[in-house]
């Protein structure tokens, strides 16, 4: 923890069994820009009834293609944008509830690291000032905030004597992302949302930053939500993985169970699209055809059915719910639900 | 071995930060190296200094008329730049004229910078309905050509220096607001502003610490370019009799009164125009120079 810096202590209020974050029915529809007078009508269903939980000290990976609502979910959790509907419970306390915690309190406990390391730092501020800013806002004195910022820079592998006084354009992309991590950790959060935090980095730098993240997690007892489109990285770092498609969770489960025995056709298509390093193992054709449907008017029933090779009448009729398919492993597919009436819905999945 | 353990294993380093080359230092250095910008800067400094120190540097009285020395040519003994249609010394009048003309050029822009800058920051940072109300209201002003608008407001308020400044301020507020709004909107969407919001900072703190430092540059450069427009419009108002009243020396007014002498002594009649031209060109070129000096990432 921070050496002698006066910061509110992070009390584990709910006990170890209480999930750090419980999200229930989170929804955000962006209304289509309407003119000054006319109404455009319709809304982009960016996040549509997302429910999940993040256990304490775990890393939850979130995957999905562009536009599936990963980043919107992250911004909703941190209340950078306000959700239309849904409940967020942080360590047993409802956010914004009368007897829960305020958004301001939540934000101190929850920090984000963004993909674009350059846009995430004020170009007119030195690195150490950027890291210290959050602490100053929290009411820590100028000198103490700066000392803590320098301390944190050292912890992310940037000697403060060499780097602290530099401006963001004077350091490399990997170093900038370390600064962003230091900035997020400086306010002593409990949950860090890494929104494509390593996606823009070179593979070698990516590995360094990932290892740094794992070290920091151990040192500060952190919990991560790791959003990425890189399935290999997610498999490497995550304890559990959540797959999103068009604003909904289609599958969630422990990393080995999900990568080894994916039950949703979309997850399987994603996994088979990962390029293999084995020269003998090559995917001949793209397993997934077509584009995701327009999020303005999502089709009724299962949102994946238009691209799904196993789609049947029931898929158009009803939206599949998340159903248990294994130990802590859930999939939202009619084929995983024996009572759905789907011809392939049997205890044994067709392979 | 992971990198953080490497870092903790490293020997302690002195806490003296490396000499950080600040952004503005770099801008100043690049400006100093630009001969065109520096020339303009020096010319403007000379004109401004002469105007401020006019009572001490001017050899003659700018109001003293002489019926026998009317429209003396450039180079006449005792009158290096000749005399005007009432026999007043041109050098004295040009230098004194700079006082009012520079005020007409700079003051409206300064006022518009304060008003328009605040409106633009507000519209850009808050966005949504506030943005729509502010920006669409100001769009009304764009319906009029700026010269016409200045003339109309001046005409309505009556002639005089103060009213000219008000009229010109009204002309420039929408333009500066638009620039301020667009750069603020860009900055507001950047991740570092989101990160600042994540840390719980209030809107005022975010604007003060993160937004202002990143939007002031472009707004200021734009405003510098407007000074030349203001100078020309202000002179135009005086020329039309809506600004400064005779016998006050002001470049636009001098241009007007010397108009009738254009066939008799064209060189003298053109002198106030030369001053307007040189001053506004210098402001324009200086704004261009500063803009390119600022337009560097890294």
Q: Which residues of chain A have pLDDT under 70?
A: 1-14, 33-41, 281-287, 345-351
| Cross-strand partners of A26 | A50
> In the structure, what pLDDT confidence band is assigned to residue B166 with cuts at 50, 70 and 90?
very high
Burial of A103 (0-12, 13-18, 19+ CB in 10 A): middle
Q: What is the side-by-side strand order in the sheet with A85-90?
A: A43-54, A21-31, A85-90, A93-94
The answer to whether residues A167 and A266 belong to one domain is no
CA nearest to B186 within chain A: A119
Tell me if A112 and B205 make a contact (CB, 8 A cut-off).
Answer: no
Is A148 an 8 Å CB contact of chain B? no
Q: Is the pLDDT of residue B13 over 70?
A: no
Residue A118 belongs to a domain: yes
The mean predicted confidence, pLDDT, of chain B is 82
Query: Is the Cβ pair B197, A180 closer than 8 Å?
Result: no
Please say whether the beta carbons of A112 and A192 come within 8 A: yes
**Domains of chain B by range and CATH?**
25-62+80-294 (1.10.3720.10)
The verdict on B1 touching A (C-beta cutoff 8 Å) is no
Query: Which stretch of DSSP H or E encloses residue B290?
Result: helix B266-294
- Mutant choice from A105, A146, A161, A205 vs B, greatest count of B C-beta within 10 A: A161
Backbone angles phi, psi at B191, to 5 degrees: -65, -30
Encode pLDDT of B180-220 as tens digits.
Answer: 999 999 888 888 898 888 888 888 889 888 888 888 888 88
Label the pairing between strands A21-31 and A240-245: unpaired
* Domain shared by A61 and A193, yes or no: yes
- CA separation, residue B37 to residues B24, B51, B280, B286 (Å): 16, 21, 13, 5
Task: Write out pLDDT tens, residues B91-103.
Answer: 888 888 888 888 8
Question: Which one-letter DSSP state was computed for residue B69?
Answer: G
Chain mean position to CA A170? 29
Contacts of A221 (CB under 8 A, 6+ apart): A57, A190
Q: Do A215 and A297 belong together in one domain?
A: no
Over residues B248-285, the pLDDT tens digits come to 888 888 888 888 888 888 888 888 889 889 998 998 89
Task: Give the span between the Cα atoms of B15 and A343, in whole angstroms.
Answer: 69
Q: Which of residues 78-97 of B touch A (CB under 8 A)?
A: none
What is the least distance, in Å, from the CA of A246 to any CA of chain B? 24
A97 occurs within a structural domain? yes
Q: What is the pLDDT of residue B144?
A: 86
Which DSSP string do the residues of A5-51 spell out, in sequence order?
A: ---------S-TTS-SEEEEEEEEEEEPPP-SSS----EEEEEEEEE
As a whole number of angstroms, the distance between CA A15 and CA A29 comes to 34
Nearest alpha-carbon partner for B194 in A139, A175, A113: A113
* Together in a domain, A93 and A56: yes
| Domain contains A16 | no
Here the tokens at position A126 are 């030195």
Q: What is the mean pLDDT of residues B75-90?
A: 76
φ and ψ of B215, to 5 deg = -110, -20
Which DSSP category does B101 fall into? H
Has residue A13 been placed in a domain? no
Regarding whether A272 and A183 lie in a shared domain, the answer is: no
Q: Can you say whether residue A229 is alpha, beta or left, with left for phi > 0 and alpha for psi between -120 and 50 degrees?
A: alpha
pLDDT score, position A285 = 53
Look at chain A and report how many structural domains it folds into.
2
Half-sphere exposure of A280 (CA within 13 A, CB side): 0
Residue A4 lies in a domain: no
Residue among A342, A279, A284, A261 nearest A309 (CA): A342
Range of the domain at A220: 21-30+43-238
Alpha helices in B59-202 (DSSP H): 90-126, 128-142, 146-157, 161-188, 191-198
Q: Give me the DSSP letters along A91-146.
A: TTEEBT-TTSB-HHHHHHHEEEE-S-TTTTS-TTS-HHHHHHHHHHHTT--HHHHH
A214 touches chain B (CB under 8 A): yes
Shortest CA distance from A110: residue in chain B: B198
Encoded tokens for B93: 């009048």
d(CA B191, CA B193): 5
Chain A stretch 58-97, residues whose beta carbon is closer than 8 A to a beta carbon of chain B:
75, 78, 80
**Token pair in block for residue B224:** 């510098």
User: For the purposes of burial, counting CB atoms within 10 Å of the CB of B168, is it exposed (0-12), middle (13-18) or buried (19 or more)?
Assistant: buried
Q: Tell whether A104 is within 8 A of chain B (Cβ).
A: yes
Is residue A172 located within the same domain as residue A228?
yes
Q: How far apart are CA A42 and CA A58, in angstroms?
A: 38
CA distance B13 to chain A (A): 6
**Percent of chain B whose predicted confidence (pLDDT) is above 70:** 91
Q: What CATH number is attached to the domain comprising A212?
A: 3.40.50.300
Q: Enumerate the residues of chain A whose CB falls inside 8 A of the CB of residue B1.
A: none
Q: Do B3 and A126 count as a contact with CB atoms less than 8 A apart?
A: no
Q: Are residues A172 and A301 in the same domain?
A: no
Last residue of a domain, one of A175, A210, A238: A238
* Residues A185 and A225 reside in one and the same domain: yes
Calculate the alpha carbon distances from B39 to A115, A150, A311, B245, B291 in Å.
Answer: 44, 44, 75, 33, 16
Range in A212-221, B23-32, B35-44 with the lowest mean pLDDT: B23-32
Residue A2 located in a structural domain: no
Q: Is residue A90 part of a domain?
A: yes
Please list the residues that pair with A251 across neighbouring strands: A243, A331
Q: Which residue of B has its CA nearest to A219?
A: B4
Residue A253, in any domain of the structure = yes
Give the range among A159-163, A164-168, B67-71, B240-244 with minimum mean pLDDT. B67-71
Domain match, A125 and A159 both: yes
User: Cα separation of B5 and A183, whole Å?
Assistant: 19
Residue B38: what are its φ and ψ, rounded to 5°?
-65, -40
Convert the pLDDT of each residue in A177-223 to its tens digit. Answer: 999 999 999 988 999 999 988 888 888 889 989 999 999 999 999 99
Are residues A124 and B213, on separate chains, in Cβ contact within 8 Å?
Answer: yes
Split at pLDDT 50, 70, 90, the class of B43 is: very high
User: Sign (positive/negative) of CA torsion B187, B189, B194, B197?
Assistant: positive
Residues A256 and A229 in one domain: no
Residues A47 and A145 in one domain: yes
Instruction: List phi, psi (to 5°) of A133.
Output: -55, -45
Q: Is A211 on the interface with B (CB under 8 A)?
A: yes
**B142, two tokens:** 């764009």
Which pTM was predicted?
0.77
DSSP-derived secondary structure for B153-191: HHHHH-SSHHHHHHHHHHHHHHHHHHHHHHHHHHHHTSH
Question: B17 CB near a chain A CB, below 8 Å?
Answer: yes
* CA-closest candidate to residue A71, choices B20, B194, B270, B8: B194
**Residues A51, A67: one domain?**
yes
pLDDT at B109 over 90: yes
Cβ–Cβ contact A253 with B under 8 A: no
What is the C-alpha separation between A349 and B231, in angstroms, rounded? 80
Cα separation, B247 vs A116, whole angstroms: 62
- Phi, psi (5° rounding) for residue A230? -95, 105
Instruction: Give which of A213, A81, A296 is closest to B2, Cα–Cα.
Output: A213
């Amino acid at each position: 923890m921070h050496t002698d810096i006066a910061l509110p202590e992070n009390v584990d209020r709910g006990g170890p069994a209480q999930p750090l974050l419980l999200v229930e029915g989170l929804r955000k529809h962006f209304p289509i820009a309407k003119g000054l007078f006319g109404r455009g009508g319709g809304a982009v269903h960016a996040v549509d009834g997302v429910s999940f939980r993040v256990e304490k000290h775990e890393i939850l990976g979130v995957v999905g293609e562009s536009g599936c609502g990963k980043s919107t979910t992250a911004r909703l959790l941190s209340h950078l944008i306000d959700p239309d509907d849904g409940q967020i419970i942080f360590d047993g306390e409802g956010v914004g509830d009368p007897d829960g915690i305020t958004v301001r309190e939540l934000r101190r406990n929850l920090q984000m690291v963004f993909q674009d390391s350059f846009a995430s730092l004020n170009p007119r501020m030195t690195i150490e000032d950027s890291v210290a800013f959050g602490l100053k806002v929290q009411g820590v004195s100028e000198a103490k905030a700066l000392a803590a910022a320098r301390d944190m820079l050292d912890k992310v592998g940037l000697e403060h004597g060499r780097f602290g006084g530099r401006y963001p354009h004077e350091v490399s992309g990997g170093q900038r992302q370390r600064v962003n991590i230091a900035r997020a950790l400086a306010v002593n959060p409990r949950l860090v949302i890494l929104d494509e935090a390593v996606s823009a980095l070179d593979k070698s730098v990516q590995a360094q930053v990932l290892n740094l993240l794992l070290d920091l997690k151990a040192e500060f007892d952190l919990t991560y939500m790791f959003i990425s489109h890189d399935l290999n990285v997610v498999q490497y770092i995550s304890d559990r993985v959540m797959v999103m498609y068009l604003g909904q969770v289609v599958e969630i489960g422990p990393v080995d169970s999900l990568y080894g025995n994916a039950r949703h056709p979309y997850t399987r298509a994603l996994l088979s699209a990962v390029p293999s390093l084995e020269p003998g193992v090559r995917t001949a054709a793209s397993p997934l055809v077509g584009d995701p449907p327009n999020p303005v008017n999502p089709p009724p029933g299962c949102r994946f059915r238009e691209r799904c090779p196993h789609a049947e009448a029931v898929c158009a009729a009803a939206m599949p719910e998340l159903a248990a398919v294994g130990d802590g492993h859930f999939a939202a597919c009619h084929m995983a639900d024996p009572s759905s009436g789907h011809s392939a819905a049997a205890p044994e999945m067709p392979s | 071995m992971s990198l953080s353990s490497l870092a903790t294993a490293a020997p302690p380093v002195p806490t003296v930060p490396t000499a950080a080359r600040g952004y503005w230092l770099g801008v100043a250095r690049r400006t100093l190296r630009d001969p065109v910008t520096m020339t303009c800067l020096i010319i403007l400094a000379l004109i401004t200094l002469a105007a401020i120190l006019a009572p001490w540097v001017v050899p003659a009285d700018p109001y003293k008329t002489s019926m026998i020395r009317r429209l003396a040519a450039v180079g006449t003994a005792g009158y290096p730049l000749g005399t005007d249609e009432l026999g007043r010394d041109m050098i004295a009048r040009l230098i004194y004229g700079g006082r009012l003309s520079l005020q007409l050029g700079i003051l409206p822009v300064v006022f518009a910078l304060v008003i328009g800058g605040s409106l633009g920051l507000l519209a850009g940072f808050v966005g949504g309905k506030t943005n729509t109300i502010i920006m669409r209201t100001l769009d009304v002003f764009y319906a009029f050509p700026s010269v016409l608008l200045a003339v109309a407001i001046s005409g309505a308020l009556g002639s005089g220096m103060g009213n000219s400044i008000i009229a010109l301020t009204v002309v420039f507020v929408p333009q500066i607001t638009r620039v301020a709004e667009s750069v603020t909107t860009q900055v507001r969407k950047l991740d570092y502003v989101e990160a600042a919001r994540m840390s719980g900072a209030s809107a005022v703190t975010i604007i003060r610490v993160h937004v202002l430092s990143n939007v002031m540059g472009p707004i200021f450069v734009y405003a510098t370019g407007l000074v030349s427009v203001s100078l020309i419009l202000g002179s135009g108002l005086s020329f039309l009799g809506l600004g400064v009243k005779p016998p006050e020396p002001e470049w636009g007014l001098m241009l007007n009164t010397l108009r009738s002498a254009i066939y008799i002594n064209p060189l003298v009649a053109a002198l106030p125009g030369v001053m307007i031209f040189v001053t506004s060109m210098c402001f324009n070129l200086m704004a261009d120079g500063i803009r390119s000096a600022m337009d560097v990432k890294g």
